Amino acid sequence: MAALEEEFTLSAVPLGAGPDGLLGVEQCDKTDQFLITDSGRTVILYKVSDQKPLGSWSVKQGQVITCPAVCNFQTGEYIVVHDSKVLRLWTNEDVNLDKVFKATLSAEVYRILSIPGTEPLVLFKEGAVRGLEALLAEPQQKIETVISDEEVIRWTKFFMVFRHPALIFITEKHGNYFAYVQKFNSSVVSKYTLLLGQEEKSVIQSFTASLCRKFISLMSLSSDGCIYETLIPIHPSDPEKNQHQRVVRSVLLKTVVSGNARNALSVLDQDHVAVLGPPLPASKECLSIWNTKFQTLQISKELPQGTSGQLWYYGEHLFMLHGKILTVIPYKCEMSSLAGALGKLKHGQDPGTQTMPHFVNWQTSQGLGSQNSEPSKRILRRRKIEASVQPEVPASQQLLSNIKKDSEKHIEIELRKFLAIKRTPDFHTVIGDIVIGLLGRCKTEPSFYPRSSLMQLIQMHVLSYSLCPGLMEVALEKTDVQMLQLCLQQFPDIPEAVTCACLKMFLSIGDDSLQETDVNMESVSDYSDAVQEEKMEEQTGILQNGFNPEEDNCDNCDKELSEKPQNTIEETTSCPVIPKRAALLNAVLHSAYSETFLLPHLKDIPAQHITLFLQYLYFLYLKCSENATMTLPGIHPPTLNQIMDWICLLLDANFTVVVMIPEAKSLLLSLYKFVKSQICICSELNKIEVSFRELQKLNQEKNNRELYSIEVLELF
Amino acid sequence: MDAFGGPIWSMAASPSGSQLLVGCEDGSLKLFQINPDKIQFERNFDRQKSRILSLSWHPSGTHIAAGSIDCISVFDVKSGSAIHKMLVDRQYMGVSKRKCIIWGVAFLSDGTVISVDSAGKVQFWDSATGTLVKTHLVANADVQSIAVSDQEDSFVVGTAEGTVFHFQLVSVTSSSSEKQWVRTKPFQHHTHDVRTVAHSPTALISGGTDTHLVIRPLMEKVEVKNYDAALRKITFPHRRLISCSKKRQLLLFQFSHHLDLWRLGSTVATGKHGDTLPLSKDADHLLHLKTKGPENIICSCVSPCGSWIAYSTASRFFLCRLNYEHDNISLHRVSKMPAFLRSAVQILFSEDSTKLFVASNQGSLHIIRLLEGSFKHLHTFQAQSGTVESMCLLAVSPDGNWLAASGTSAGVHVYNVKHLKLHCTVPAYNFPVTALAIAPKTNNLVIAHSDQQIFEYSIPDKQYTEWSRTIQKQGFHYLWLQRDTPITHISFHPKRPMHILLHDAYMFCIIDKSLPLPNDKTLLYNPLPPTNESDVIRRRTAHAFKISKRYKPLLFMDLLDERTLVAVERPLDDIIAQLPPPIKKKKFGT
């Protein structure tokens, strides 16, 4: 429900408000700050939550501000017009308005319009519109006349329609009202007739507008006290034909104020409007919030000292002049709904979950870069006047420039500082840029190898191979197995050639040099207690249920195998590689690959390394088969599928080589025998599974319903 | 009105909504002016060689792009002449296909035209120069639909392989402002052709031949997997397709081109919970009523007495009288329907079958008195001034005094049938009504909304009932609100005034208003507790929502008499089995 909170005043000193009240209240680029322009000579910047002024600027005696000051959201400057034609631009640091940038224009300005996200527009009294940038480049340019003689602009508003600025202004001529819509990208002006004076005797007192899909919803408060709504298309169907098109005005709310006083209107959201004015001819002035959907008065607040008939609404604050004092009334409103009206809208939150209204914002990852890189001519001009302003350099740029010259130690400290600050949406690309910067220096300076910095960056979990293509090559060059292991674990997109190069290095590196490195041993558990299980495994050959292995003619291989049983047992019981190498190989096993691309590279590995790797894989395979779940002990061990796939791949790639080497022969035989016994078990399991499935089917048939059936159901 | 160009293949309203462009079989493009009262022909555009299959307006309304066969044309709306003709390559992966059909075009405000075609390409064209900018080959089969977001920074295409691809406008590198269209995400939620796609600010919506509507929220950054970020699949229409004659135990099934009337079987046996009883009489297929012409049936109804059937297509209304003589039935069409009964959105008979209520597509409601073999027009409630919305749901009170009607957004109107005047209007709610029913005796109107809220409104008192206020105050169980499918039918037990029976596609529920409401900590789906538990436990765990998921997917459920419920299931496998086969994909060596 709509609620007006306790009001507070902004200025203890009465503003120099004339009989017409203030010139304007405008938003600033910082939240909570507003520019107040009185109808005399002064502009005051207020911080609303603190209720105190941050700055105040006045024009010289004899000069008069004719247009409310606005903030240029792109540069943070303030702009004001005095004596109708003189433009002044200044910032917070300026003290005297006489000494700031000044531009004298050739025509009288009606208003400067500024909203976040685009450059300010200048609307001239004759209806022409210019961008501020273009106007400042050539202040004395000729300004055309758009509206006719005796036509006066009454009200204007500026919108962003799908990133394109659009401007609406209302003119009056002898009681006739016209609306002009100008889209800035097409620079076509569409004119609509709002109200013809001879038809109705009412005068429109106040306008407000909001954007409603493809229409501007223009609301007007008439002197008969009713609020009317007019929908004006943003995209006119045929700009030339529809000149002077009449738009329909429909009554939105009837007689909300008595007509004769100075009343004001402001739209708050899609269902609510705020109306300032006396509800009855005799009564005091009131601020009322109306719900247009349900046509109800939500809340009303009396303002006994009278107002100037002006109302501004920004964010959650309503501004008005109460007596002589600028008053702010915070306003809150929930979406109106029937369920809300009845008592409960919805459950606030689902149990156990947090609402995360973050939709993907396509802008976030792109917007940052472009905003920074956009060099503004305005900034340049200002620097001529005051050369002290230093544009803010993003921390990442700073770090990148440091990387080019600083020592390893220093970079590491800087990096730690950088990583400690808050993550931006494009964090991963920034990290990528930093790594590339570091690698670039590695390549030019052979002695430079910022190992700990790189490790730290990899551990941010945001890098991928494609973000820093050179990283693994450099690590391979430096034989940095620890870094390679980390990369294999972290990167999702390592090319097969690089994976294979890592594998080659892990197999060829000497045991002594491995012992010195600090490799993550998480994936390797203690395999030494294998002696006990080994016996059981031999028994699988005998314990075959309902299946005779002799039927498969493999007598010779059995025979051959029995010739040197000692040898094979030895091979299978103990791990063929030292634990550190095992950990590295496990990292390779875990990495993703595509067979087609991996196979050619596997052929390049020397034969003895192939045998060693096969031995290790066979060993892992045996370990897997030891328990029912077919898994290895330890944290994050290689899975059975990974092991099997790699065995197949190695055999595929190096079949002829493996067949030719004598030391591989026994390994192949034992592998073959073991696989065969496994297949036997699987076929038996298959049989069991089929029988179970049949049982299941029989069970299900009972519940199967016919096309039409009558059932008995006991309902509670 | 006729466009005089043969079948119309495409249609597009101008951005301002004041003009309509149609593309015809003979290659002509015709512009119509839309006025509040009628549509008026304005101008022909330059005629093209072959049929116009797709149209898209430039957001400013000055140009349009038209997709035809083998080419895309860009027209200037003011002059009506083609400024550019862009030929599309027929080549498809080196093989020249017979024709390349442009299934969809989209005109962006920067002048880029995006086309999707039967060769599986998504192509970007520059409409100013008429040149091809970029090609994405996304499928081995047709790309059939395209939808662009309002922001024009992302779009979605649907292919005949059932895949939906998401394209986004992203920066080429992190620091440059140069942007490029990149294919970002593929989704495979359909088994058959994706015929249409839509792009909302927060979700991609696709609909296909496999009868599914899939809503895929774009909420990748949600850390907690919650209900709003979940994928939705909607299969059944949110309308009632089956009506039931309680007296004669008949069910009328509405198909797109025919109606089937079945008489339910019966049994003499009894049994305990869970038993399937042997049938003493099987269900009979009484009638198969085919419509003439190509129009689909929009709505249908069988009267409670079983002797009337009414149905309507897009342009005609039919009323039939059924006569039962022992086992034979005969059907007489009531001829000479009045001119105002051209097309109906919803039809309903009063409980005593003497009155027929017809909601026309013009927003008015007609009441017709049915006599033996003829009818008499009683009254027409005109649409509320200012709305053209038609009433898509009707409900009549069992005593025949009240008629409730609801459109898609403007609240529920309750009419007094005796005095033929509007009695009251239930205030509009943010979500559309999905089911309506009036309870016997109390004349409480029960309204189910698409956000799963249920309101009970007392018609005589013109206010929400105490129970409705209580449940709104306490709120519904979160699992109740998270159901995917809307309530499609509400009925009441004549002897148990505290019960409301309702169902959606996956469950049916009996709400017992006398029991306490469940809160979020209680189990919502509370199966029948075992009988051996003590009464105390049963009472403690009991709450107002008794839900059964025994039958699903449930198309219809109603109370036949005090002891009989009829439920109609529509297994999805049966629907999929009847669909045309999807594009065959070659997999490995097969």
Question: Any chain B CB within 8 A of the CB of A337?
Answer: yes
Chain B CA closest to residue A396: B175
Pairing of strands A188-195, A245-246: parallel
ipTM for this model: 0.72
Q: Give the C-alpha separation, A632 to A621, whole Å.
A: 9
Helix or strand holding residue B368 (H, E): strand B365-371
pLDDT tens digits, B499-532: 999 999 889 999 988 888 888 877 887 666 555 5
Report yes or no: B439 and B430 within 8 Å, Cβ to Cβ: no
Q: Has residue B222 got a pLDDT over 60?
A: no
DSSP state of A284: P
Chain B CA closest to residue A371: B177
Q: Give the C-alpha separation, A154 to A146, whole Å.
A: 15
**Least confident interval from A298-312, A490-504, B457-471:** A298-312
Catalogue the E-assigned strands of B25-87: 29-34, 39-44, 54-57, 63-67, 71-76, 82-87
Q: Which residue has the tokens 């156990």?
A: A352
How far lies A568's CA from each of A167, A562, A619, A678, in Å?
A: 86, 10, 11, 18
Chain A CA closest to residue B529: A716
Report the pLDDT value the prediction gives residue A239, as an integer from 0 to 100: 52
Q: Which CATH class is domain B239-271+279-360?
A: mainly beta
CATH classification for the domain delimited by B383-589, as one of 3.50.50.60, 3.40.50.150, 2.130.10.10, 1.10.1740.10: 2.130.10.10
Using alpha carbons, select from B334, B250, B255 the residue that is nearest to residue B289.
B255
**Least confident interval from A119-133, A349-363, B266-280:** A349-363
Report yes or no: A136 and A153 within 8 Å, Cβ to Cβ: no
Among A370-384, A543-557, B286-300, top mean pLDDT goes to B286-300
The larger pLDDT score, comparing residue B274 to residue B368, is at B368
Question: Any chain B CB within 8 A of the CB of A204?
Answer: no
The reply to whether residue A708 touches residue B546, judged by beta carbons under 8 angstroms, is no
> Pick from A347, A353, A359: which is nearest to B475 by CB?
A347
Q: Where are the domains of chain A?
A: 395-475, 495-524+573-699
pLDDT tens digits, B400-444: 899 999 887 767 889 999 998 889 888 888 888 999 999 998 999
pLDDT tens digits, A128-175: 888 888 888 888 888 888 888 888 888 898 888 777 788 888 888 888
Q: Has residue A371 got a pLDDT over 50?
A: no
Q: Which residues in B lie closer than 8 A to residue A339 (C-beta atoms)?
A: 429, 453, 472
The reply to whether residue A712 touches residue B273, judged by beta carbons under 8 angstroms, is yes
Interval B14-43 mean pLDDT? 88
Torsion of CA A221, A227, A230, A231, to 10 degrees: 120
Using alpha carbons, select from B466, B438, B469, B434 the residue that is nearest to residue B451.
B434
Question: Any chain B CB within 8 A of the CB of A716?
Answer: yes
> Pick from A162, A344, A356: which is nearest to B224 by CB?
A356
Q: Which residues have C-beta within 8 Å of that of residue A85, sequence separation ≥ 6?
A: A104, A105, A106, A107, A108, A109
The larger pLDDT score, comparing residue A375 to residue A159, is at A159
In percent, the amount of chain A with pLDDT more than 90 equals 5
Report the pLDDT value the prediction gives residue A537, as an integer from 0 to 100: 41
Using alpha carbons, select from A191, A190, A157, A151 the residue that is nearest to residue A171.
A151
Q: Which residues in A lie closer than 8 A to residue B453 (C-beta atoms)?
A: 339
Interval B231-244 mean pLDDT? 85
Q: Would you place residue B590 in the very low, low, confident or very high pLDDT band (cuts 50, 70, 90)? A: very low
**Least confident interval from A87-91, A291-295, B563-567:** A291-295
**Least confident interval from A159-163, A285-289, A535-539, B304-308:** A535-539
Instruction: Tell me the three-class secondary structure of A125-176, residue by residue.
Output: CCCCEEEHHHHHHCCCCCCCCCCCCCCEEEEEEEEEECCEEEEEEEEEECCE
> Pick from A343, A350, A358: which is nearest to B472 by CB?
A343
Q: Give the C-alpha separation, A234 to A161, whole Å.
A: 8
Q: Give the C-alpha separation, A659 to A656, whole Å.
A: 5
Torsion of CA B290, B295, B298, B303, to 10 degrees: -30
Report the pLDDT value the prediction gives residue B147, as an integer from 0 to 100: 95
Q: Where are the domains of chain B?
A: 8-235, 239-271+279-360, 383-589
Q: Give the C-alpha separation, A621 to A530, whole Å.
A: 13
The larger pLDDT score, comparing residue A28 to residue A14, is at A28
Report the pLDDT value the prediction gives residue B115, as an integer from 0 to 100: 94
Q: Which residues have C-beta within 8 Å of that of residue A35, sequence separation ≥ 6?
A: A24, A25, A26, A27, A28, A43, A44, A45, A46, A68, A69, A70, A71, A78
Q: Give the C-alpha separation, A294 to A394, whole Å.
A: 50
How far lies A244's CA from each of A155, A540, A543, B14, in Å?
A: 18, 95, 98, 20
Q: Give the C-alpha separation, A83 to A97, whole Å.
A: 14
Q: How far is CA B140 from the centre of its chain?
A: 31
Q: How far is CA A303 from the centre of its chain?
A: 44
Topology of domain B8-235, CATH = Methylamine Dehydrogenase; Chain H (2.130.10)
> Pick from A162, A337, A426: which is nearest to B150 by CB?
A162
Report the pLDDT value the prediction gives residue A300, as an integer from 0 to 100: 83
Q: Which residues in B lie closer than 8 A to residue A338 (C-beta atoms)?
A: 427-430
**Least confident interval from A501-505, B84-88, B408-412, B447-451:** B408-412
Q: Which residues have C-beta within 8 Å of that of residue A337, sequence separation ≥ 6?
A: A345, B429, B430
Q: Which residues have C-beta within 8 Å of that of residue A352, sequence separation ≥ 6?
A: none
The reply to whether residue B201 touches residue A344, judged by beta carbons under 8 angstroms, is no
Q: Would you place residue A198 in the very low, low, confident or very high pLDDT band (cuts 50, 70, 90)? A: low
Report the pLDDT value the prediction gives residue A72, as an integer from 0 to 100: 87
Mean pLDDT, rounded, of chain A: 77
Question: Any chain A CB within 8 A of the CB of B466?
Answer: no
Measured in residues, chain B has a length of 590
Question: Any chain A CB within 8 A of the CB of B495?
Answer: no
Q: Give the C-alpha separation, B127 to B105, whole Å.
A: 12
Structure tokens belonging to residue A472: 């693994």
Chain A CA closest to residue B568: A708
pLDDT tens digits, A544-562: 444 444 444 444 444 444 4
Q: CA-based diameter of chain A, in Å?
A: 119
The reply to whether residue B154 touches residue A362, judged by beta carbons under 8 angstroms, is yes
Structure tokens belonging to residue A646: 């790699």
Amino acid at A4: L
Substitution target in A246, A291, A356, A393 with the highest count of B β-carbons within 10 Å is A356
Using alpha carbons, select from B79, B76, B82, B97 the residue that is nearest to residue B27.
B82
Q: Which residues in B lie closer than 8 A to residue A294 (C-beta atoms)?
A: 427
Question: Any chain B CB within 8 A of the CB of A282?
Answer: no
Q: Has residue B490 got a pLDDT over 70?
A: yes
Report the pLDDT value the prediction gives residue B527, as an integer from 0 to 100: 65
In percent, the amount of chain B with pLDDT more than 70 equals 92
Question: Any chain A CB within 8 A of the CB of B260?
Answer: no
Q: Give the C-alpha separation, B366 to A261, whole Å.
A: 49
CB contact residues (below 8 A), chain B span 49-68, against chain A: 59-61
Report the pLDDT value the prediction gives residue B92, as an integer from 0 to 100: 60
Helix or strand holding residue A272 (H, E): strand A272-277
Report the pLDDT value the prediction gives residue A358, as an integer from 0 to 100: 33
In percent, the amount of chain B with pLDDT more than 90 equals 31
Question: Any chain B CB within 8 A of the CB of A459?
Answer: no
The reply to whether residue B271 touches residue A186, judged by beta carbons under 8 angstroms, is no
Beta-bridged to residue A78, according to DSSP, are: A71, A90
Q: Which residues in A lie closer than 8 A to residue B474 (C-beta atoms)?
A: 344
Helix or strand holding residue A338 (H, E): helix A338-342
The reply to whether residue B276 touches residue A709, judged by beta carbons under 8 angstroms, is yes
* Domain B239-271+279-360 matches domain B383-589 at the CATH topology level: yes
**Least confident interval from A36-45, B103-112, B280-289:** A36-45
